[in-house]
Structure 1
Amino acid sequence: MIKVKHPEAHCNRTQEATITQLPENQQRFQELFFSYGNAVYRYHQEAAAHEPTHQDYEEWLEGLPENVSRGMAAKGFEWCRTVLSFTRYVQEKNDVGQEEYVRGLMGEEEFEEYKALTV
């Protein structure tokens, strides 16, 4: 069973259908993989709740390699609002760490089981 559901119902249906078509010995890994991915997706979606500012954007640009920073600056603040490294920057700046967030949604036992399978 996928513990952490995707916020969009059609994704949940697709994920469940995918799992049922797999051999039994592959199903548990895929359940954990989907739970982890869904938790990370939710993490990045919640960055919008912090209302990223232009100052956040400028700070994030400063921390990027020069060539990447130039490219992201050319794309502009509005375009970059959905770039994963920017949404993670915003979350981390607001004391919401990705690993802790995902662990909280998955639960300690499932999170550790996933990590052990992906090492």
Structure 2
Amino acid sequence: MSEKLTVRLKTLHCYQNDEEQFDDIFLKFNGKKVWPKDKKHEDVRINTKHALEVDLPDLTPNKEVAVEVWDHDVISPNDLLGTAFFVPDKPGGPYTVDMRPINDKETARYSIDWEILK
């Protein structure tokens, strides 16, 4: 049995938001919201960064991990803006991964800094 890894999501960077003034962002991993922990979403504006400090434990080395970036909507369903994919292999970092937009029309641009803990 191979040793499991823990990935720590460090920082969320917003280069371009989807909404006019700010996005109401939350992150999901394996179908569960992992950030922000104490509220429904975080107001994220263009050219800002936000501390995450989210641990994703019990990951299998060399198996792709997907963290979804969502925009919370009140009247309509929440919007999946895109997904950050990465493959943890051994302790190290920090690394940065860009969010892949959900489609070609998507304008939002985000990245996540992450590291693999020992």
TM-score (norm 1): 0.25
Which structure dedicates a bigger proportion of its chain to strand? 2
Q: Which has the larger radius of gyration?
A: 1
